Chain A
């Protein structure tokens, strides 16, 4: 299975600050994905980075991937109160693996107005 483990478990910042969350995984991957979960809701896909990419941007999101260290980071710049949510990463193997995608516990981000 492919797994993601997020760090830190909880992060509390003020509005306007940047938030950085880290992710580690155990097996070789084809891509790594980040998801957000607002309280009481389902997960929503944020961004995907492929194993041959080192950095990717989407709006206020910046994701990096270091396959040699089996780690990724998610940076949210100029955070807003609406960014308050749990964030999960998951790595997916390529080939014919249909993907027992397993998620970690996530990082709980709280952005104070």
Chain B
């Protein structure tokens, strides 16, 4: 089992560019989510999804879009990158009917110049 796979691991963007962070899981988890982690801020929830076709906002959704067309994939889109979006992004998933243990990817480090 690969678990939760995030790509790319590193990315450098210029202000105003767009990109998509990919997240895929092979555990048939209904719940998937995106967090960003900044020094001194802990992990903050951006968006989450409880199943295909269903998404909702977390704490810090502005500047990010998500969609969930399949159970396996939950991409995070930055339409117009800003320096404030420089961060490490983590995707996490869990079985909705389980105890709630989250499985995390290894992270994607994004720098916006």
Contact = CB atoms under 8 A, between A and B. Distances in A.
Q: Interface extent on B, as a size class? A: 20 to 34
A56 interface: no
Contacts of A98: 31, 48, 50, 96
A88 B37 CA distance: 12
Contact of A45 (B40, B43, B101): B101
Interface stretch (A15-23, A61-69, A102-110): A102-110
Given A1-B59, A42-B90, A105-B41, A48 B100 contact: yes
A101 B42 contact: no
A98 B93 CA distance: 12
Q: What band does the interface of chain A fall in when counting residues whose beta carbon is under 8 Å from B?
A: 20 to 34
A30 B98 CA distance: 12
Given A43-B90, A98-B31, A48 B42 contact: no
A82 interface: no
A31 B100 contact: yes
Contacts of A106: 42
Interface string B92-110: 1000100111111111000
A77 interface: no
Contacts of A51: none
Interface of A: 1, 30-31, 33, 35, 40-45, 48, 88, 92, 98-106
9 contacts: A31-B99, A31-B100, A41-B107, A45-B103, A48-B99, A98-B31, A99-B100, A100-B45, A102-B59
